[in-house]
Amino acid sequence: MIATKNAGKAKEMAEILSDLPYEVVSLSAYPDAPDVEETGSTFVENAIIKATAYAQYTGELTLADDSGLEVDALGGAPGVYSSRFAPSDPERIAKLLDLMKDVPDKDRTARFKCAVAIAEPTGSVRTCEGKIEGTIARDARGSNGFGYDPVFVVTETGRRMAELESGEKNSISHRGRALAEAIKILRPCRV
């Protein structure tokens, strides 16, 4: 079970996990599932909180992703508050660009980070992490992906995350890298 209420994440996670011998079900199959408060101060803590809560609720092996953008010029913000930074993706991007408007190019470094927790209904849990380095642009460009992708210039491609096709994003992204580790844990379980 993929425990996320974020449609962009759910799509990427399902694509990345599609080769596994599991039937992948998302939280949308559980419309009455309660919201889980993200009270942790790190991505790993919040991924564990979400995965264990939903594994207990559904009785299924559950993966949760906690992720976000760390901007060096903002002391690591928005970090674990990336989704709570503003109410919508366009507002989050506008707020970030405004906060960064006087930051020179050389100081615009940032990274996406992702923690994935894999929880059994019994309470046992394991975690994996991934990250990708980049810089924050001065405008939004590209229409793929979600969240902050239109303003994140991927260092290793020189292009916006939102300009990458989904397969290309998944092969290098913070989420793709964390889930590649998760797959190593999951594959031996039931093959």
Kindly name the residue from 65, 66, 98, 107 that is annotated as catalytic. 66
The answer to whether residue 126 forms part of the interface with ligand ITT (CB under 6 A) is: no
Question: What are the angstrom distances between the C-alpha of 82 and each of 86, 93, 114?
Answer: 8, 10, 12
Give residues with Cβ within 8 angstroms of 97, minimum separation 6.
Answer: 136, 138, 139, 140, 151
> CA 104 to CA 39: how far, in whole Å?
34
Minimum distance, C-beta of residue 191 to ligand ITT, in the bound complex (Å): 27
Q: Which residue is nearest to ligand ITT (CB)?
A: 147
The region of 3-11, 53-61, 102-110, 118-126 touching ligand ITT under the rule CB under 6 A is: 3-11
Catalytic residue check, 66: yes
The answer to whether residue 127 forms part of the interface with ligand ITT (CB under 6 A) is: no
Minimum distance, C-beta of residue 147 to ligand ITT, in the bound complex (Å): 2
Smaller CB distance to ligand ITT: residue 141 or 187? 141
Question: What are the angstrom distances between the C-alpha of 120 and each of 23, 51, 58, 61, 157?
Answer: 16, 8, 10, 5, 37
The answer to whether residue 57 forms part of the interface with ligand ITT (CB under 6 A) is: no
Q: How many angstroms separate the most distant Cα atoms in the chain?
A: 53
- In the block, tokens 């797959």 appear at 183
Catalytic site positions: 66
| Sites of contact with ligand ITT (CB under 6 A) | 4-6, 9, 38, 65-69, 82-83, 92, 112, 145-149, 161, 173, 175
